[in-house]
Amino acid sequence: MDDEIDAVLAPELITLREPPTDKGGCIEYLLDRAVDAGRVTDRDEALEAIRSHEAEMGAGVGKGIGLFHAKTDAVDRPTIAFARSSEGVAVETSDGEPATLLFLLLAPTEATDEHLAILSSLSRALMHAEVRTALHEAESAAAARRTLAEAIG
C-alpha cells in the first residue's frame, strides 16, 4: 500500500460502527475519530471549519455518499475518516437519497493542491458502483480500508 495513502487512511480513522443518523452528530462522530487518532490539534476550530464549509457547499454527493471536508490549521496533515450507516444520514444530495457511506476529509489550510487531489481521487473512486458495494459489504474496518486505499491509490 502506498505510504501516502496509508498515512491519510490510518486504521484508527475507519469504523464500521453505526454513526448518529443526524448530520450534526455524524460530523462530530467522524471528527472524533480524527481527534482520537491524534490528527486534530483543536477540535473546536476543526468543527467550525467543517460546519462552515458544509453550510456553504453541502456534503451530499449522491449515490449514498456524504463527504464532509474542510481545510483548517487544526490538522497538520491530510486525514480521511470513514463510517457507514445502515439507516443513512440526511444530507442534501442531488438524488435526495440519504448518505450511507460517510467521509470526513481534513487538510491543512496551506495544502490546497494536496487537498484537491485527495478529494478528487476519493470522489472519482466513489462513483464506481463496485467500490461502493465493497464498502457496504466490508466485514471489517481493515477490509473497508483496503478497498479505499486501492480505489484512491
Q: Which residues are catalytic?
A: 69
Greatest distance between any 2 Cα atoms in the chain: 36
For Cα atoms 50, 53, 58, give the angle at the middle one, nearest 5 degrees.
105
Residue type, 92: E
Residue in the block written with cell 485527495: 118
CA separation (Å) from 47 to 13, 25, 85, 151? 16, 11, 21, 27
